[in-house]
């Protein structure tokens, strides 16, 4: 889940105003953006010890969150919502069958897959060529092939301490870079690998200063310096050391935001919203669900080696119940998509196994709630 500044949850959980040091979205400018259009922020001092990668740049970030807690304990999903969740998934699948703006994509018989969606969204409108809307609907990344299968055995999370999470993420992070680098090269984008910070104490970033356990943010990506930040305490609190697939999906989702930045989708969306501010919430959900779809595509690339081929039911359950908003979230606060929507797009990316699955900007509104 995310907001323009990565904060979510009810208003009482959010700081007043934007985080210190965060720059506003870019002002009106021609699309595509010109080199140097986005100003550079000053360095933020000594990097936190958990960080590798750059430490400065313009401040824009997206956060990822579990559904809001309920009752006295920290419960990601209430048992009472289980039937609603399954009904929500069924309704989403039914919408795919009835919707003519997508084609079903069937994986080969030997390909790992979960029972669930397998569609390739296709635009049903034809915006003016060269506009930001045209880019969002028809970006070149949707025409790239599947990620290469990776040899990426998961590290043991142990107690999910700082040290254990760093080892887990660092191994997975190498696989993420190795998997996505050829896609960027195919698109003519020869960019440095992003950075990663795993923190359990206050951290300074180009997108502001953050405390562990801030609101419900599990992790966030700062577009300005192309660094992902993961809150160790929040992850441990939400998932403990046993639900490792949630850790996989979280870091792969944040890398999905990096994909959006490298491929120009992030900047196209910023320009699009200047002309369509009334689409802010809808666009935010499409943006977040696309990052989750990219996470599903990556999960397919590591399915055999991680391994999760014998945990596909768990993968499906985790993807549908761990992230996003609940049905009771007010409409004007639904910035990241319902937990069922998160699950739909993670599973769709996994089943299709290619980036053509992730054109959420072409999906009908009922699949991005």
Q: Can you give the pLDDT of all 369 residues of the chain as single tens digits? A: 332 223 233 323 323 332 322 222 222 333 454 443 333 332 333 333 333 322 222 334 455 666 664 433 323 322 222 222 222 332 232 222 223 355 555 455 678 999 999 999 999 999 999 999 999 999 999 999 899 999 999 999 999 999 999 999 999 999 999 999 999 999 999 999 999 999 999 999 999 999 999 888 999 999 999 999 999 999 999 999 999 999 999 999 999 999 999 999 999 999 999 999 999 999 999 999 999 999 999 999 999 999 999 999 999 999 999 999 999 999 999 999 999 999 999 999 999 999 999 999 999 999 999
d(CA 257, CA 61): 9
Can you tell me which residue has the tokens 């992003």?
194
Which residues make Cβ contacts (< 8 Å) with residue 20, sequence separation at least 6?
Answer: 208, 209
Sorted by where each begins, the domain ranges of the chain are: 52-367
CA distance 157 to 178: 22
> Residue 12: its pLDDT value, please?
32
Token code pair at residue 249: 């999906």
Residues in the chain: 369
pLDDT of residue 109: 60
Instruction: Give yes or no for a cis peptide into 307 (omega within 30° of 0).
Output: yes
Contact 315, 252 (CB under 8 A): no
In contact, 250 and 165? CB cutoff 8 Å: no
Compute CA distances 206 → 59, 151, 240, 243, 359, whole Å: 5, 33, 29, 30, 29
Residue 110: C-alpha distances to residues 153, 223, 301 (Å)? 20, 37, 14
Contact 258, 197 (CB under 8 A): no
Handedness of CA 69, 70, 74, 76 (dihedral sign): negative
Spatial contact of 223 and 255, defined as CB atoms under 8 Å apart: no
């Amino acid at each position: 889940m995310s907001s323009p500044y990565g904060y979510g949850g009810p208003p009482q959980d959010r700081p007043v105003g934007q985080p210190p040091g965060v720059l506003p979205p870019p002002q009106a400018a021609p699309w595509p953006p010109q080199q140097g259009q986005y100003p550079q922020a000053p360095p933020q001092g000594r990097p936190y010890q958990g960080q590798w990668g750059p430490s400065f740049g313009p401040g824009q970030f997206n956060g990822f969150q579990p559904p809001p807690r309920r009752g006295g304990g920290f419960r990601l999903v209430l048992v009472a919502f289980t039937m609603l969740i399954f009904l929500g998934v069924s309704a989403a699948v039914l919408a795919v069958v009835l919707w003519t703006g997508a084609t079903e994509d069937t994986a080969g018989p030997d390909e790992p897959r979960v029972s669930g969606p397998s569609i390739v969204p296709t635009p049903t409108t034809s915006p003016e060529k060269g506009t930001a809307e045209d880019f969002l609907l028809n970006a070149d990344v949707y025409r790239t092939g599947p990620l290469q299968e990776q040899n990426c055995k998961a590290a043991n999370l142990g107690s999910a301490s700082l040290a254990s999470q760093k080892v887990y993420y660092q191994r997975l992070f190498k696989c993420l870079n190795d998997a996505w680098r050829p896609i960027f090269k195919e698109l003519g984008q020869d960019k440095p690998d992003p950075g990663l910070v795993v923190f359990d104490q206050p951290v300074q970033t180009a997108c502001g200063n953050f405390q562990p356990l801030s609101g419900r943010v599990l992790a966030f990506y700062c577009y300005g310096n192309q660094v992902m930040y993961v809150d160790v305490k929040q992850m441990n609190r939400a998932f403990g050391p046993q639900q490792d697939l949630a850790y996989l999906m979280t870091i792969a989702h944040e890398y999905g935001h990096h994909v959006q930045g490298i491929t120009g989708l992030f900047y196209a969306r910023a320009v699009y919203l200047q002309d369509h501010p009334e689409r802010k919430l809808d666009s935010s959900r499409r943006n977040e669900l696309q990052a989750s779809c990219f996470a599903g595509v990556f999960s397919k690339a590591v399915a055999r080696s991680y391994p999760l081929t014998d945990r596909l039911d768990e993968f499906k359950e985790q993807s549908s119940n761990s992230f996003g908003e609940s049905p009771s979230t007010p409409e004007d606060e639904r910035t990241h998509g319902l937990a069922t929507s998160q699950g739909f797009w993670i599973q769709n990316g996994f089943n299709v196994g290619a980036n053509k699955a992730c054109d959420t900007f072409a999906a009908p509104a009922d699949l991005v709630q």
